[in-house]
Structure 1
Amino acid sequence: MASANILICDDEAGICRYLQKTFAARGLRVETFGNGASLLGRLAGGTPDDADLLLQDVRMPDMDGIQVLKRVKELRPALPVVIMTAYGTIDAAVEAIKLGAYDYVTKPFPKEKILGVIDNALEREMLRRENQVLKEELNRPGIPEHIVFTSQKFREVYDLTLRVAASSANIMILGESGTGKELIAGTVHDNSTRKGHRFLSLNCAALTDTLLESQLFGHVRGAFTGAVTAQKGLLEEAGGGTLFLDEIGDISPAVQAKLLRVIQERDFIPVGATRPKQVDIRFVAATNKDLEKEVREGRFREDLYYRLNVITINLPPLRERKEDIEPLALHFLRKYARRMQKEVAGIGEHAMQLLTEYQWPGNVRELENVMERAVILARGNLITADVLPVRSADIMPAATTPPPRLISLETLEREHIERILTSTGFHKSRSAELLGISRKTLDRKIVEYGLSFARPAGWQPDGDDA
């Protein structure tokens, strides 16, 4: 959240100036307040999403800091609060944590310490907002992007999708990362008898087991530390509709067992509850893993696999449907030109040649990222080759092209991850972003494939990317 808005409440002007300068250097917006009354007035008069984090001193000149925190939590229950405390007021900071503060820091604090706390709090807030958007998606009017294709290969996939959508069967969507699995899942929902109800999606690899279970099943008040109110899970929120479980191959055996019960018994028990709730949901699952191999090696339940995999839809990689590259590229060009209000209307001949001949290991997601970057960098009304990260060196001339290498999906995935890691200097967060997977999944893949990086002399780790 590079453009996040941080509120600072401290009666020490020096502290406010120091923090404002520190945060501004990171591209963060800052508002400062010298007392609790002015802070509360600001929060009472604003909107729920106009502040991303509050950094508050535990000592206020006009009112008790704990009372300020209580009032803040009444006005903005979801706003993350980090308490600043001096030596001798630790007890107050601990009390603040009990009242819902995210964390506390002790003065004087080094720049690295406060930035680390702020980064963690903002990342948590970003995830919370993404989950909130997911849960509030009601009566979804249509798929988020038009499905663009001209190839016969994808036409067959699309026709199959429409045929199976009318059934009530659970569906498994297989394909490499970036091929559009969620788009197909949305198409299934929008063409089914459930289209009047919710379509919700959940990336299973992006959450810890505890958070994943809470997101799926919900929890009752007091089920665990921090559960100050009851919360509905996606199983309940998606009642009558469709629940899309992306990266299903990454869920733990414990969650697999609980999910199997939901499919078999059509009920579930929220975390901390004792009574089951009935549920009517169609499951669409997706993975880029070889689930049959996962079943054989005991990492994925065979009974759950067959319950989810009633109908299989296999999405081809973009390199196997090159006829779709040009219409997709033009579609993304128009999308980002409108969004950025730029007069970019087409793609130059050489640039289009590079796009169509490139192998696209990141598939449609990679193509969209490339086109967004190209629109940003375009100097005229045409996308030219010089603004593309794809170069002729990335494309083997046709005269010297060897026979295609027959390799497994696992080998292809390993080589692609290794290539991205190498290109970013083993910067894990950036690599995960380019790959379209979570940092947790990337760390697991690095261990699974035994990937390492030959660090040049003088190399220093970038934050948590060591």
Structure 2
Amino acid sequence: MLKARILICDDEEGIRRYLQKLLQAKEYEVETFADGASLLARLEGGTDGDADMLLQDVRMPDMDGIEVLKRAKKLRPNLPVMVMTAFGTIDSAVDAIKHGAYDYVTKPFPKEKILGVIENALELDLLMKENRVLKEELNRTDTPDNIIFTSEKFRAVYELTLQVAASDANILVLGESGTGKELIAGAVHYNSSRRGKRFLSINCAVLSDTLLESQLFGHVRGAFTGAITTQKGLLEEADGGTLFLDEIGDVSAAVQAKLLRVIQERSFIPVGATKSKSVDIRFVAATNKELEKEVQEGRFREDLYYRLNVITIDLPPLRERPEDIEPLADHFMKKYSRRIRKEIKGFAPEALQLMHGYRWPGNVRELENVMERAVILTRGDVITAEVLPIRQREPAAPAADNRLISLEHIEREHIERVLRQTGFHKSRSAEILGISRKTLDRKIAEYGFAIPGQSGSSAGDPDA
């Protein structure tokens, strides 16, 4: 966990030394400045988050302390500032607080008092930072701004999403699990004329028929055992907005029939009620199943399929857009670094190489989970391959590849792939493969791999 960094600005060397020693004993990081000009230069050259608090004398030889305070708060509006002075008056205290100071202490100050004020200020600042982060995450959740991509393949998908959002047509989003179908549904809603109304979603696969029906249609009091109050369903709550039906391919035939009626008649009857309610809803449905095949085999209603599938958006899996792996990983790394207050600068080259060589069967969702774990386990400021839980997973064979091949062939291809991805670094390759260096050398000889810079023995191998 990062320690707080405190800046001290005072023209008295004795005060600077006293505070530096006191704060460093409490494991704070400390920077000291003898005048306002050097402090302001430091603030101008730094970035948000590189300082957690400022202790500043109100009287300095080069410029008025209140002027330094005003300029410091202009540069860093969220930086807590505590003003120190040996000339404590009510007027100067009020003036300092009026211009953004957190608190005001007079010299000489007991160490218990100064430490108590600092701890309180840092705790308050931490709460405010967490609040700002939560607000940012809520904003990102409620809008499509967190759709991260650089690949042309996904750009085409996103441009189609924006194009169809302007219409009021129902949309079917297809794609493997974890490809971001709900994000696309959100992008449709927030770029449509319905964005002022609610965007609601439900995962149809995790609920029983009875519970799914109750959640969608709502119920009246006494409709079934346990229905002690009347409850609105998502259809009523989403009136005027968008309802996202995730995993629509898992809905039973009975619920399919009821959904079809809602789409056709723009009305529904809550469970246990006798009167219908009118609604105006745009439906976005998603599935990782081959819905056309489900229709052909009688498991999904053809009329509902065509009602939902006015426009299709097909999301490519992450392995088909490798250009997006690094920006997505960076996005998730920053997200979880902020959440647990760790400072991580980026990825080691071997970590990036490993991520690019992996097939990501769980797609973007798996990448996010991997990044969360990596941020938690990383000890330094760079994520390395050692904290990524993907190095020993076998890449999946392409779905269209139905060849029957020997285990020896698979082993040979996999070892060669790992060697190439690590730049023929034997120790790293052995670690990724989960075998000893001696076993790897034997396999290299057995399969006749040509190792760059090595001719017949390990003598010329810098990794030997």
TM-score (norm 1): 0.55
Stretches of structure 2 that go unaligned for 5 or more consecutive residues are 1-137, 403-464
1:204 is aligned to: 204
Question: How far, CA to CA, are the matches of 1:141 and 1:327 in structure 2?
Answer: 18
Matching of residues 200-349 of structure 1 within 5 Å: 200-349=200-349
Matched position secondary structure for 1:284: strand
Counterpart code for 1:166:
A
Q: Residues 324, 193 of structure 1: CA spacing in aligned structure 2 closer, same or farther, 3 A cutoff? A: same
Does residue 172 of structure 1 match 2:172? yes
- Deviation per residue, 1:123-179 (Å, 9 max, x gap): xxxxxxxxxxxxxxx999833761110000000000000000000000000000000
Contact persistence 2:268–2:277 (CA under 8 A): yes
Question: How far, CA to CA, are the matches of 1:341 and 1:371 in structure 2?
Answer: 15
Matched position secondary structure for 1:361: coil
Give the CA deviation at 1:209.
Answer: 0.3
Tell which structure's C-alpha radius of gyration is larger: 2
Question: How far, CA to CA, are the matches of 1:184 and 1:247 in structure 2?
Answer: 14
1:154 is aligned to: 154
Counterpart code for 1:317:
P
Question: How far, CA to CA, are the matches of 1:279 and 1:190 in structure 2?
Answer: 19
Q: Residues 407, 268 of structure 1: CA spacing in aligned structure 2 closer, same or farther, 3 A cutoff? A: farther
Matching of residues 27-46 of structure 1 within 5 Å: none
Question: How far, CA to CA, are the matches of 1:217 and 1:235 in structure 2?
Answer: 6
Q: Residues 140, 360 of structure 1: CA spacing in aligned structure 2 closer, same or farther, 3 A cutoff? A: closer
Question: How far, CA to CA, are the matches of 2:393 and 2:255 in structure 1?
Answer: 45
Counterpart code for 1:212:
L
Contact persistence 1:139–1:197 (CA under 8 A): no
Does residue 406 of structure 1 match 2:400? yes
Counterpart code for 2:209:
D
Contact persistence 2:217–2:234 (CA under 8 A): yes
Question: How far, CA to CA, are the matches of 1:139 and 1:360 in structure 2?
Answer: 28
Contact persistence 1:204–1:245 (CA under 8 A): yes
Give the CA deviation at 1:394.
Answer: 3.7
Q: Residues 255, 140 of structure 1: CA spacing in aligned structure 2 closer, same or farther, 3 A cutoff? A: farther
Q: Residues 393, 250 of structure 1: CA spacing in aligned structure 2 closer, same or farther, 3 A cutoff? A: closer
Matched position secondary structure for 2:142: coil
Contact persistence 1:139–1:195 (CA under 8 A): no
Matched position secondary structure for 1:307: helix
Matched position secondary structure for 1:168: coil
Matched position secondary structure for 1:312: strand
Matched position secondary structure for 1:239: coil
Contact persistence 2:144–2:184 (CA under 8 A): no
Matched position secondary structure for 2:173: strand
Question: How far, CA to CA, are the matches of 2:246 and 2:393 in structure 1?
Answer: 34
Q: Residues 294, 159 of structure 1: CA spacing in aligned structure 2 closer, same or farther, 3 A cutoff? A: same
Q: Residues 315, 405 of structure 1: CA spacing in aligned structure 2 closer, same or farther, 3 A cutoff? A: closer
Question: How far, CA to CA, are the matches of 1:379 and 1:385 in structure 2?
Answer: 13
Question: How far, CA to CA, are the matches of 2:169 and 2:247 in structure 1?
Answer: 19
Contact persistence 1:139–1:198 (CA under 8 A): no
Aligned length: 265
1:365 is aligned to: 365
Counterpart code for 1:406:
A
Counterpart code for 1:240:
G
Q: Residues 141, 392 of structure 1: CA spacing in aligned structure 2 closer, same or farther, 3 A cutoff? A: closer
Counterpart code for 2:356:
T
Give the CA deviation at 1:187.
Answer: 0.2
Counterpart code for 1:150:
T
Stretches of structure 1 that go unaligned for 5 or more consecutive residues are 1-137, 397-401, 409-466
- Deviation per residue, 1:85-112 (Å, 9 max, x gap): xxxxxxxxxxxxxxxxxxxxxxxxxxxx
- Deviation per residue, 1:394-423 (Å, 9 max, x gap): 459xxxxx9x55159xxxxxxxxxxxxxxx
Question: How far, CA to CA, are the matches of 2:307 and 2:236 in structure 1?
Answer: 20
- Deviation per residue, 1:185-213 (Å, 9 max, x gap): 00000000000000000000010000000
Give the CA deviation at 1:334.
Answer: 0.3
Counterpart code for 1:244:
F
Matched position secondary structure for 1:283: strand
Give the CA deviation at 1:357.
Answer: 1.1
Question: How far, CA to CA, are the matches of 1:367 and 1:145 in structure 2?
Answer: 18
Counterpart code for 1:199:
F
Question: How far, CA to CA, are the matches of 2:264 and 2:393 in structure 1?
Answer: 53
2:380 is aligned to: 380
Matched position secondary structure for 1:368: helix
Contact persistence 2:219–2:230 (CA under 8 A): yes
Contact persistence 1:200–1:243 (CA under 8 A): yes
Q: Residues 269, 186 of structure 1: CA spacing in aligned structure 2 closer, same or farther, 3 A cutoff? A: same
Contact persistence 2:144–2:187 (CA under 8 A): no
Give the CA deviation at 1:343.
Answer: 1.2
Runs of 4+ with deviation above 6 angstroms: 138-141
- Deviation per residue, 1:37-84 (Å, 9 max, x gap): xxxxxxxxxxxxxxxxxxxxxxxxxxxxxxxxxxxxxxxxxxxxxxxx
2:350 is aligned to: 350
Question: How far, CA to CA, are the matches of 1:149 and 1:310 in structure 2?
Answer: 26
Give the CA deviation at 1:216.
Answer: 0.3
Question: How far, CA to CA, are the matches of 2:304 and 2:388 in structure 1?
Answer: 43
- Deviation per residue, 1:292-320 (Å, 9 max, x gap): 01001110000000000000000000000
Question: How far, CA to CA, are the matches of 2:326 and 2:313 in structure 1?
Answer: 24
Matching of residues 388-427 of structure 1 within 5 Å: 388-391=388-391, 394=394, 406=400
Which deviates more, 226-235 or 383-392?
Answer: 383-392
Counterpart code for 2:261:
R
Question: How far, CA to CA, are the matches of 1:205 and 1:363 in structure 2?
Answer: 19
Counterpart code for 1:374:
A
Task: Give the % identical residues.
Answer: 75
Q: Residues 407, 188 of structure 1: CA spacing in aligned structure 2 closer, same or farther, 3 A cutoff? A: farther
2:48 is aligned to: none
Matched position secondary structure for 1:149: coil
RMSD between aligned alpha carbons? 2.0
Question: How far, CA to CA, are the matches of 2:180 and 2:152 in structure 1?
Answer: 17
